[in-house]
Amino acid sequence: MKKTFNIILVGIIMLLASACSSQKLNAVRLPLGYIPNVQFAPLYVAIEKGYFAEEDIQVELDYNMETDSVALVGSGELQFAIVSGEQVLLGRAQQLPVVYVAAWYEDYPVGIAALKEQNLRSPQDLKGKTIGLPGLYGASYIGLEALLHAGGLSDADVTLQSIGYTQVESLSNQVVDVVDIYTTNEPIQLQARGYEVDVLPVSDYLSLVANGLITNEKTLEQDPDLVRGMVRALTRGITYTAEHADEAFQICEKYVDNLASLTSEEQDVQRRVLAASIKIWQVEQPGYSDPQAWQNMQDLLLRMGLLSDPLELSAAYSNTYLPE
C-alpha cells in the first residue's frame, strides 16, 4: 500500500513539474527609443538575472522612436514602452490612454554643454548663442525650453540649429556655440577627447518627469499582475545595476554592439557613461512618480503651446503598481 502511495505521489509531482515547465511566458516587446547603450543596463541585467522570467515575462527589446512607441501603446498594439514624461502628456492630449507606471530616472537627463571659453555659468548666458540640438522635438527640445525659461529667455533670444545627433563633433568643431545634450553622454565623450566643458543640467533648475515605463489603460484593467511584474523586474534591475556597476557593465557587452571589442580607453568612457547614468536614476524610491514633477511638466508644455488645455494628471501616471 505504501509503495502504491509513493508511486502516485511521484506521479503527481511529475505532473505538477511538467505543468510548471510548460507554462507559457507573457511575450512583451519593449521599445526603448534609442540604440543599444550601457544606459539601458538595468534592462539587460533584469533579463540576464532572470527578473523578468521570475514574473513569467519574456522581453524582446526594440530600439524605436518615442512617439511611435506612445502611439503603439496607446492603440493597444503594444502593452509597454520606455518613454519620457512629456510624451505621456502629449499622447493623452491626443486621446491615447497611456499611463506612466514606473519612473526610471529621478533627474531629467537633458542639459546644455559649451566649451570652457564660452563662459557658460547660468541659463541667462544662453542669450545670443547658437544652440545645436537634434531638432524641435523630444526630450532634448523640452529640456532646452525649460532652461531658456529658467533664464528668462525665449527662442527669439537664441538661434536654434538642427544638427541631428552630432553634438560632440559640432561643438568640438565650433559649428555652434553650445549643444543640447544628454548629461550622461556627450559631456563625457567631449572630456575624453580633451575638451573642457561646462554643463547646465535641466534638473538643477526644474524637476521634470524623465524616462520610465508606460502601459495603457486596457492592460491595467485586464492584466494588472503583468504590470506589477514588469515594474518589479525593472526596478530590481535598476537597483542591482546601481549596486553592481562592474558586473552590469560586463552584462552590457552581450547587448551593446562592439562594446567588448572597444579599446580600454573607449571602454573607460562607456563605464563613465554608466556611472553618470546611475547617479540620476530613481534609486532611493525605485519607480516612484513625483506629482510636482508632473505638474511642472504640464506647465512647461502649456507654456510652449504643445498642450492647449490642462490634463487630469492623476490619470497620466500611477504609483499603485510599485513593489511594496
Q: Using an 8 Å Cβ cutoff, are 303 and 149 in contact?
A: yes
Cα gap 150→148, rounded to integer Å: 5
Q: For residue 257, how far is the Cα from the chain centroid? A: 19
14 confidence band (pLDDT: 50, 70, 90): very low
**What's the whole-number average pLDDT of the chain?**
92
pLDDT digits (tens, 9 = 90+) for 79-96: 999 999 999 999 999 999
Residue 5, CB half-sphere, CA atoms under 13 Å: how many?
Answer: 2
Cα gap 167→164, rounded to integer Å: 8
pLDDT at 10: 44
Mean pLDDT score, 298-316: 97
Mean pLDDT score, 46-72: 92
Residue (of 168, 183, 180) closest to 276 by Cα position: 183
Q: Using an 8 Å Cβ cutoff, are 126 and 112 in contact?
A: yes
pLDDT at 19: 44
% pLDDT > 70, the chain: 92
pLDDT at 324: 81
320 confidence band (pLDDT: 50, 70, 90): very high
Above 50 in pLDDT, residue 57? yes
| Residue 269: partners with Cβ closer than 8 Å, 6 or more residues away | 188, 189, 192
Supply the pTM of this predicted model. Answer: 0.89
Above 50 in pLDDT, residue 114? yes
